[in-house]
Structure formats: structure tokens, C-alpha cells
Structure 1
Amino acid sequence: MQRVCFRLRVKPERLAEYKRRHAAVWPEMLAALRDAGWHDYSLFLHDDGLLVGYFRTPDLTAALAAMEQTEVNQRWQAEMAPFFESLDGRRPDQGFEVLEEIFNLADQLTNEPERHQP
């Protein structure tokens, strides 16, 4: 399972509304994400507008492509786009920056005996 972490920046004047919108995401959007292979999806928001998202998926490209095919995602992305800075005309799901994973506790614990060999 691939772990994906990404970042975006929410406009400071839109933070409260962004939080409100995510307190009750449309049920059909939740179902679409689940059906497209987005697991353990979470968003974290700093008061300066930094938004960090995390999810697990069998295949990021396939998960994004599956969401692209849904009408609910088209509507959701259109509604969310005005909340973000620096998308350069792209939708939020096309404009996020994927971060490089540099550490995972479980992975290192699994490989621990070989890491400590002299």
C-alpha cells in the first residue's frame, strides 16, 4: 500500500469556511473516495493556511484517475478551488505537491536486524 502525503495552501481569509466545509463532507464524495481506493485519508490545517493531507492507496495514479471519472469530484473540486492559493488554474486535486516520505517507523522496525549488522 502506497502512503501519500501532500501539501496545499489555504487562503488565510478562507480558513474558517474551509474547516466548516470539511466538518460535513458530502456523503457521495466520501463514498467516491473510498471506492477509488483512498484509505485512512486525513487533512491537517495550520493557522497560517498550510494544509497537509495523508492517505494510503494501492496506486496513486489509479486512485486519482478513478476520482477524475466521478461527477461528485468535479463538483467538489470546483467548489474547493477558490479556497486555495497558487493553483495556477488547476483544480486542488491536480495542484497538490506530493511530499517525499523519508521515514516510516514500521518499515524500519521490520528491517531492524539487518540495519544493525556491523
Structure 2
Amino acid sequence: MIRKASVMKVYKDQYAEYKKRHDELWPEMEDMLKAHGVSEYSIFLLEETGQLFAYMHVADEALYQKVSQTEICQKWWVYMEPLMETNVDNSPISKELKEVFYLA
């Protein structure tokens, strides 16, 4: 299992809506993530800055890399774009973090 972490940013006035949309995650989005080997997916918010910390387990890196190419993922990005910092293709601006410590 591969552990992946990244940081993103949600606009401060959109915290509640961001949480609401994830609480109501589309079933087809959940199914697609699981089909691409994603599990143990958590997102944490640092309220002072709007920084999001995302953590997940991925079964296969090559399979996971195909997530962004799915129609449902691209639809989700459009849906989330008003709430957070994004790239021109509506994907969240995301910086992958390098693991420096792990305690099992």
C-alpha cells in the first residue's frame, strides 16, 4: 500500500460548503476512487489558513494516476472550483508531500 499526502487550499468563506459537499460525496465519485485503488482517504482543514491536508492509501500508483482522466473526477473538479484554489483545468492546486516519518 502506498501512502500519499498533499496540501490544497479552500477559501475561508467556503469551509462549511466544502465540508457539506464532501459529506454528500457523490456515490459515483466514491465508486471511481475505490475502483482506482484509493482507500483510507481523509482531508483535514487548518482553519486559520484554509490549508487542506489530504491523506490516502493507494494500491497502485499507475492506476491512481488515471483518476484525473475520468469523467466523474473532472465533473467533481468543476463542482468544487468555486470553493478552492484551482488550476486552469479546474483541478485543485495540490502540492504532493514527501513522507519523512512513519510509525506503524
> TM-score surpassing 0.5?
yes
Structure 1 or 2: more strand by fraction = 2
Q: Deviations over 1:66-114 (max 9, x none)?
A: x2332211110111122112x342412xx310111110012xxxxxxxx
Look up the equivalent residue of 2:70 and give its one-letter code. T
**Percent of residue pairs identical:** 36
Q: Aligned residue for 2:88?
A: 89
Give SS of 1:105's match.
coil
Question: TM-score, normalization: structure 2?
Answer: 0.88
Aligned residues: 102
User: How many angstroms apart in 1 are the aligned matches of 2:10 and 2:19?
Assistant: 10
Q: Aligned residue for 1:62?
A: 63
Q: Aligned residue for 1:7?
A: 7
State the Cα distance separating 1:61 from its structure 2 match. Answer: 4.2
Q: Which runs of 5+ in 2 are unaligned?
A: none
State the Cα distance separating 1:25 from its structure 2 match. Answer: 0.3
Look up the equivalent residue of 2:12 and give its one-letter code. P
Q: Find runs of 4+ consecutive structure 1 residues off by over 3 angstroms.
A: none
Q: Aligned residue for 1:38?
A: 38
Q: Aligned residue for 2:79?
A: 79
Question: TM-score, normalization: structure 1?
Answer: 0.78
Q: Which has the larger radius of gyration?
A: 1
Look up the equivalent residue of 2:88 and give its one-letter code. G
RMSD: 1.5
Distance 1:18 1:99, change over 3 A: same
Distance 1:98 1:61, change over 3 A: farther
